[in-house]
Structure 1
């Protein structure tokens, strides 16, 4: 089989399929070794990297080559022989291009695994033939299912350590099938392999003549991946407002989350509800007649509408919800347990809002996917929860749209990612309420109230309001340097700053005695 290595990747035909897949499974099941073997046998490792790996292997591993080092790039990973962070690798064959997310197996790094699997279309589940299906195998498989992955390859690894036993393989297949019956409808393909020896990775193994199926690479090249990106419902979360540059240019920058947009399409802006038509679709390479997910573009509208970061542009006949509360499946990722009623930050697309957990509807047992009652969730626990939002968001159901149907939870005190959520249900609010909730404004304080102004700014920022803080000291060091504080020019400069910032959807906390009321 002819495989293309790094030197020919630039010349690779970009029209062939791209498959994103993530490894999953328990620690020491051989995920990194398998990916290293796959990249090595397909000649997809640069020569200098290969030489470095061989040198490290001989010095620290007493072996010719340790394939796990291909993806374990952190110093701590190489020292401990484990995967900590997600490693992304690219390789290509004449049939398909691949992006691999090699995820960690350790329980304490489950959040990294969920991150790596979030954009994958296929999950490659590794199982150590000696240990069979363990709790972490089930947890990773369940998380992959929650993330909408419907294509699974279960690679029973280290078959060389069980004498390539067909009976061991079949027992593991039966055990995983019994567990998988409780998940959503998945396509599951089982392959017995030895990542270390290369059995059934690229070439068919002579040690397992009883296995008549595909090798791993052959299956990955030919699998028909179900699902994928939503190209029906147009959703454009506004990331940045680009204005200026001559000719009164004003455009709204961001990445198309889903769907397709054409020049001339009639769109509605949420939360304001205002409508207009797409006048231009601007990119670095020039204007386009149409664009689709996941392209990064700048959209221009025929009408001058107040739009800011966190707003969403959609087609008038296909709108998302305006939701004030949610029900969602979440994976808790913080070492600190969930606190019911505590204010967290909910990051949904480009918006950040304040919210809290009303209750845990149920927790999932990863061993058998059964539901049990729980008052809160702790590290690596998975459950269904109610989320109350202080400001509305514009979601879809996760099964219909991964990008507008998901969110992350941030602890405002530590700035740590606390959880990842997949929306299963929402409760709508009126557009008028949503519009009032996100309006940018100027908050004025006298010059002698600096502590109160800074405290108000900290409170607003902690609660997810996009805002900046300025006072006379800062102004006289920067924007108003050399301008007398009691002059009209000084006051006009502050006013202009407030207009520019609020026009972009950001509030201003200003502490000064020289701002006109």
Structure 2
């Protein structure tokens, strides 16, 4: 592979993607093979892997060691935490999140895939679609990941049989489509040998599709978020001291969606106060326009009360504020989430007190049925919740904005993250049965 110059790297697009699959499906080996065969491994890293592999009596380097960095992971032979890797080819830059496969670490996939534009779900060709496969597909649909790659691994152990691959691909695609996954690309691979990972496989001449890397390099990535409603969660109010900046008052933060222009009419939520953008500072320099993911400082024509946690939005595209939120959630804590649970809800840069008013349903992954009124959600459960907040929040639907349509619930006692939530409908829940004895009173 040719050396990538700084100029070429700056011109390539960025793809964030995550890997998922059951234990021993070969995720870490796939990632290691992807890094190794794309020449993205430093010499000293490869030498270290070769030394460890040789000490274990292995002739070939164990490429899984390139990603299983924790000592506990190496000792147990499983991935425990999300491992992030950064690499690039002449065609594209990548941020990869290798997520755990063990069922107790399914919640880690929410972290890894929450910002991903593509998810690679591995399946052991010998085992086919299993419960954990369905769980990962459900999470990909829940998180609205636009592209899913089904990598049917260990094809060398089933004699590279086309019919084995076809049956698995058909079953998974049907399940994913029912969940609402917009696109599935199935690729037969052997991560250990290298078939169809970076180079096409000579052992599967019946397959005419792309390799994993080729698909990653060519899948459409939309960075044009100008169609999204502009959102700036305020992180910090900047008021420099001194005679050089007597009237400077700026509102700093990272643009979560859309773009802002000097002269735009904006509204500050939840107060509803309106003004116009008089200036935009980016890296200390004034600019006329700023867009998604840029960290900027907005200056407004009017001196109005704005603080951390407020949301600056275009006046014509302002979301409604509400204290009643209904969402689909993945529970990530060991302690269960119950009706009546008092929590902190963090949305953007704002954190407010809240209470779990109802848990209408829990998703059963085997048949996608909904178990009504489970009473609680335990670790790795996916379900619907109704939440009442102490203060109004300007929330978008997660379908419209993955950034401002998401939130987390936090334990107010120890600060532990309890639940990751996506506002709006992701899975259709049954109508809850009204309990006439329910107390709808609130302390706030």
TM-score (norm 2): 0.91
Q: What SS does the aligned partner of 1:324 have?
A: strand
Q: 74-83 or 373-382, which moves further after superposition? A: 74-83
Q: Deviations over 1:426-467 (max 9, x none)?
A: xxxxxxxxxxxxxxxxxxxxxxxxxxxxxxxxxxxxx99xxx
* Distance change >3 Å, CA 111–CA 12, structure 1 → 2: farther
- 1:275 and 1:209 map into 2 onto residues whose CA distance is 63
Q: In the alignment, which residue of structure 1 is the partner of 2:220?
A: 224
1:402 matched to which residue of 2? 402
Residue 197, structure 1, aligned to residue 196, structure 2 = no
Offset at residue 228 of structure 1 (A): 7.5
> How big is each residue's C-alpha offset from its partner over 1:102-160, in whole Å with a ceiling of 9 and x where there is no partner?
11111111221110000011111100111111111110111111101121110000111
Pairwise CA distance, 1:312: 0.8
Q: Which has the larger radius of gyration?
A: 1
In the alignment, does 2:384 pair up with 1:390? no
**CA contact 1:95–1:221 (8 Å) conserved in 2:** yes
The corresponding residue for 1:62 is 58
Q: Contact 1:333–1:419 at 8 Å: present in 2 too?
A: yes
* Distance in 1 of aligned mates of 2:223 and 2:162: 33
**1:343 lines up with 2:342 in the alignment:** yes
User: 3-state DSSP class of the match of 2:178?
Assistant: coil
Shift of 1:357: 1.4
Q: Which of 29, 50, 53 is matched with 2:46 structurally?
A: 50
CA distance in 2 between partners of 1:33 and 1:400 (Å) = 35
Deviation, 1:61, is 6.2
For 1:110-509, list aligned pairs within 5 A: 110-225=106-221, 229=225, 231-246=227-242, 247-248=245-246, 249-373=248-372, 374-424=374-424
Structure 2 runs not aligned, ≥5 long? 426-442
Q: Is the 8 A contact 2:110 2:139 kept in 1?
A: yes
| CA distance 1:165–1:227, shift in 2 (3 Å) | farther
Q: Distance in 2 between matches of 1:260 and 1:45?
A: 37
Using the TM superposition, give the Cα deviation of residue 24 of structure 1 relative to its aligned residue in structure 2, in angstroms.
1.2
8 Å Cα contact 2:226-2:259 kept in structure 1: no
Helix, strand or coil for the counterpart of 2:112?
helix
Q: Show CA shifts across 1:60-88 (max 9, x none).
A: 46343111111111121122221111111
Of 29, 32, 38, 1:33 maps to: 29
Q: Kindly tell me: are residues 333 and 295 of structure 1, through their superposed partners in 2, closer, same or farther at Cα, counting changes over 3 Å?
A: same
C-alpha distance after superposition, 1:355-387 (max 9, x if no partner): 121111111111222212222111111011111
Distance 1:229 1:102 in 2: 26
Selected match of 2:14 from 7, 10, 18: 18
Q: Distance in 2 between matches of 1:78 and 1:40?
A: 19
Aligned with residue 95 of structure 1, among 81, 87, 91: 91
38-47 or 57-66: which moved more? 57-66
Show CA shifts across 1:270-309 (max 9, x none): 1222222212211225121110011111111122111111
Give 1:230 shift.
6.2
Q: CA deviation at 1:414?
A: 2.9
- Do 1:150 and 1:226's aligned partners in 2 also have CA atoms closer than 8 Å? no
> Using a 3 Å threshold, how does the CA distance of structure 1 residues 227 and 243 change in structure 2: closer, same or farther?
closer
> Per-residue displacement from partner, 1:382-424 (whole Å, max 9, x unpaired)?
0111111111111100000111100011111232111100000
Contact 1:327 1:424 in 2 (8 A): yes
| Normalised TM-score (structure 1) | 0.79
Distance 1:15 1:24, change over 3 A: same
CA distance change for structure 1 residues 25 and 310 in 2, over 3 Å: closer, same or farther? same
Tell whether the 8 Å contact from 1:231 to 1:292 is kept in structure 2 after alignment. Answer: no
Change (3 A) 1:227 1:40: same
